[in-house]
């Protein structure tokens, strides 16, 4: 197993890939999925445009495993600083895996409004998708054994670790 990739490098790669998709602060906002995606979004924004509105989504109340696992121990309010209707939302996740987190995030986003577009940025994209989602921009694709996990730890420093 190789060493996990450098997070700052991946965030820079995300910024480079996202730049053509980002408009002005009036029509684009960055939204990170708690917890790791929110950390990445916070680092990503200054590389795109520091004036872009920044929000975070806590998807605990939208997860599809609630009926089997119950509530996540850490629940908190989502924070969207602007009305997302008719705006481009840059949705940021740390690890894109089954797609279930993205599904929950989209459900929640649409409870807040109807975005003009949602662009998905994932720091890491690993195999084993269970739902038909693909990221618009990826920091790095990684092939990981099914019994392995990759996890973003933070907020300072941001580090990817294999488990």
Partner 1 sequence: MTNGSIHNKPELAQYDANGQLRHLVGIGGLTAAQITRILDTADGFNTAPGTAPTKVPLLRGHTICNLFFENSTRTRTTFELAAQRLSADVVNFDVGTSSRTKGEHDLDTLYTLQAMGATLFCVRHPDDGAADYFARHVAPGVSVINAGDGTNAHPTQALLDVYTIRAHHPDFHNLRVALVGDVRHSRVARSTIAALQALGATDIRVVGPNAFLPHDVDQLGVSTTTDFAAGVDGADIIMGLRIQRERIQGSILEDENDYHRHYGLTANNLAHAKPDAHIMHPGPINRAVEIDADIAYGPNSLILEQVRNGIAVRMAIMALIAGGRTPNDTT
What does the binding site for partner 1 look like in residue numbers (CB under 8 A)?
A: 58, 60-62, 66-71, 73, 75-77, 107, 111
Let me know how long the chain is: 163
Which is closer to partner 1, CB of 10 or CB of 106?
106
Least gap, CB of 103 to partner 1 (angstroms)? 12
Which residues are CB-neighbours of 53 under 8 A, at least 6 positions away? Answer: 25, 29, 30, 81, 82
Q: How far is the CB of 76 from partner 1 (least distance, A)?
A: 5
Q: Residue 137 Cβ, how far from partner 1 at the closest point, in Å? A: 29
When the beta carbons of 24 and 66 are compared against partner 1, the nearer one is 66
Rounded Cα distance between 73 and 51, Å, is 33
Which H helix or E strand runs over 96?
strand 88-96
CB nearer partner 1, residue 75 or residue 116: 75
Coil, strand or helix at 81: coil
> CB of residue 109 vs partner 1: minimum separation in angstroms?
13
- Phi and psi torsions of 68, nearest 5°: -110, -35
Nearer to partner 1 (CB atom), residue 20 or residue 77: 77
Nearer to partner 1, 2 or 68 (CB): 68
Among the listed residues 131, 52, 51, 142, the one whose alpha carbon sits nearest the alpha carbon of residue 94: 142
Nearest approach, Cβ of residue 71 and partner 1 (Å) = 5
**N-terminal to C-terminal alpha carbon distance within the chain:** 11
């Amino acid at each position: 197993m190789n060493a996990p990739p450098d997070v700052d490098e991946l965030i820079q790669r995300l910024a480079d890939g996202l730049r053509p998709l980002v408009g002005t602060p009036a029509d684009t906002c960055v939204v990170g999925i708690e917890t790791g995606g929110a950390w990445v979004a916070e680092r990503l924004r200054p590389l795109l445009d520091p004036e872009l509105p920044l929000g975070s989504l806590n998807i605990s109340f939208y997860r599809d495993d609630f009926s089997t696992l119950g509530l996540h121990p850490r629940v908190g309010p989502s924070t969207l600083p602007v009305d997302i209707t008719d705006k481009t939302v840059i949705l940021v996740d740390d690890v894109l895996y089954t797609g279930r987190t993205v599904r929950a995030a989209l459900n929640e986003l649409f409870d807040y409004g109807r975005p003009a577009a949602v662009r998905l940025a994932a720091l890491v994209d690993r195999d084993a998708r269970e739902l038909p989602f693909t990221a618009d921009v990826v920091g790095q694709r990684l092939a990981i054994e099914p019994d392995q996990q990759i996890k973003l730890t933070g907020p300072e420093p941001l580090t990817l670790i294999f488990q």
